[in-house]
Chains A and B, each alone.
Chain A
Amino acid sequence: MSQPVLEARAVSKHFPAGRSTVRAVEDATLALQPGRIVALVGESGSGKTTLARLLARFYPPTSGEIRLHGETVKGKPRAYYSDVQLIFQDPFGSLNPLHRVRYNLERAVKLHHAVRSRAELDQKVTELLERVSLTPTEQYLDKFPHELSGGQRQRVVIARALAVEPKVLLGDEPISMLDVSIRLEMLNLLDRLRTEDGLALLYITHDIASARYLCDDIVVMYAGRMVEGGLKEDVIANPLHPYTQLLIDSSPDPERRDRPNLFDAEDLGEPPSLIDPPAGCRFHPRCPFAMNKCRTETPPRTELPEGRWTHCWLQENA
């Protein structure tokens, strides 16, 4: 495997909430390689978005470090942003309703490239719109966000991020607010960007099916901790961590109908509060295989063949 572009090493993020602390992300490690798509999967509140925002440097990690091209990042994030861009979940919120499409793209181009003339600027902007398949471009250039559909807005948002010519694109549930009918197009667009430009992509989602369609690797998060990761085929076909099994079981799959469900949906319980997370493995209150050890000690990372890893005492002891 090649050298990762962007890495998170054992990062944690705690938010103060009155007198207590919300432990949103704990000890997360993640590496993004050029031309590869990593899916970060987990339910709401599992810390996916917090991790994306840590990688986008919206706030500093409480502990751990973020590395770009193998160097720890610090100081002003201006230079960082010419390599890393984030795509927000909500295409209705991430474009200023008062600015036209043209303004958004032109600002991004002007800030990152020495553009001499009006013609050169126009050409760049047209190219960007063509790359995200908003053609004929002149139809979209002078539109306001409210005149566009959700999918078109998300394309504008992606075009704006691409104007920077980044190496890494962080997608924070980029398709979850879009109509089901255009989600596939959007996934194909992201896939094309990965193949054509060799972008490193982080694809955050709670939808295993879209992760399976798009990505190369899957990382599963639960209650602020990473539980399992590896190649997508391996993780989906043979989930090792009980939580991954639960997650895969709870997404519909016609081929899996004959296999008995591991969990009884009735007594699944809820994910824990992140203010006072359970000691040991955070999944132990819901885990059918929980042992005494799981209640007291946090499971370490168990490395398995072919880049597989998991945090589970079952695998560590096996």
Chain B
Amino acid sequence: MLKSWKVRIGLSILTFFVLLAVLGPVIGGDPRANDISSISQPPSAHHLFGTTQFGQDVLAQTVAGARGSMLVGILAAAIGTLIAILVGVPAGYFGGAVDNGLNFFTNLFLVMPVLPLILIVAGYVQGTGPFVIALIIGLFGWSGGARTLRAQSLSLSSRDFVLAMRMIGEPHRRLIFFEVLPHLTGWISAMFLHGMIGGVMAEAGLAFLGITDSGSISWGTMIQAAQQQSAVLRGLWWWFVPPGLCIALIGTAATLVNFGVDEISNPKLRQARRSVVVRARKVVEA
């Protein structure tokens, strides 16, 4: 998997952002410090990414925002994937009444208008920090994944090796987690990466709509602040481009890694190696 250039690039971008999120407070300056001497200044030697309307350093804010956005993205993906596994796999494995119940539940979440619901829930919950936002995004974003896992485990559960272990007397719990689930790792990791992109985007979207706590710093709140101060009209591009670019980069990186995961579960997608192509050409020419 690591041989593919897509996976390598994707993983290195993701690693970079994770490191940024972890080490952010050490390398970046204080994102809240106001430098009165330079307000709304374009990138310069002193402020590499320029400054905001309030004289805050955009670079320091972008670095600090990585922590907020990545935290929400990873946490939301983890919550969503976990629920998808816990609902989807038993539904497919047991079938019958269990499947009907869980599937009904999944369909309910699938057709729910998520955005208005998030707005309402976020409105009720006081203090929408990154954890609450991640929880909300995860809780409302698992249903598609659960459907996929249900379909997969439905077909896996009737395979001979599951029936054979059941005949040995293996309990359902172990059949699900030790016989069926390991075959789904490709799907689950793809789901997690998808969830992470979704989480980062959803956080940015919610922040842009002003749902999140404006005191916390994330890429979403940066873009929202830029919008509120009409940065676009005033040409302060250095204020909103860095956070926007970071979101796009994370999305690209996760998608690139996903290609690699897809190639594992579906060998037909695999690119032929150069040596194979050369050999094939020789055969055709001969």
A: residues with CB less than 8 A from B are 56, 58, 78, 81-82, 85-86, 88, 90, 93-99, 104, 107-108, 111-112, 157, 160-161, 163-164
Contact = CB atoms under 8 A, between A and B. Distances in A.
A95 B168 contact: no
A95 B183 CA distance: 13
A104 B160 CA distance: 14
B169 A93 contact: no
Contacts of A163: 168
Among B163, B179, B182, residue most surrounded by chain A Cβ atoms (within 10 Å): B163
Given A93-B161, A107-B174, A161-B168, 20 more contacts: A58-B163, A78-B169, A85-B167, A93-B160, A94-B164, A95-B164, A96-B179, A97-B161, A99-B178, A104-B165, A107-B170, A108-B168, A111-B168, A111-B169, A111-B170, A112-B168, A157-B164, A160-B164, A160-B168, A163-B168
B270 interface: no
A82 B161 CA distance: 18
Nearest to A89: B160
Interface of B: 159-165, 167-170, 174, 178-179, 182-183
Contacts, number: 52
B183 A81 contact: no
A112 B169 CA distance: 8
A58 B167 CA distance: 9
B183 A98 contact: yes
29 contacts: A58-B163, A78-B169, A81-B168, A85-B167, A86-B164, A86-B167, A88-B160, A88-B164, A93-B159, A93-B160, A93-B161, A94-B161, A94-B163, A94-B164, A95-B161, A95-B164, A96-B161, A96-B162, A97-B161, A98-B182, A98-B183, A99-B178, A107-B170, A108-B168, A108-B169, A111-B168, A111-B169, A161-B167, A164-B168
B165 A81 contact: no
A81 B164 contact: no
A164 B169 CA distance: 9
B209 to A, nearest CB: 45
Contacts of B182: 98
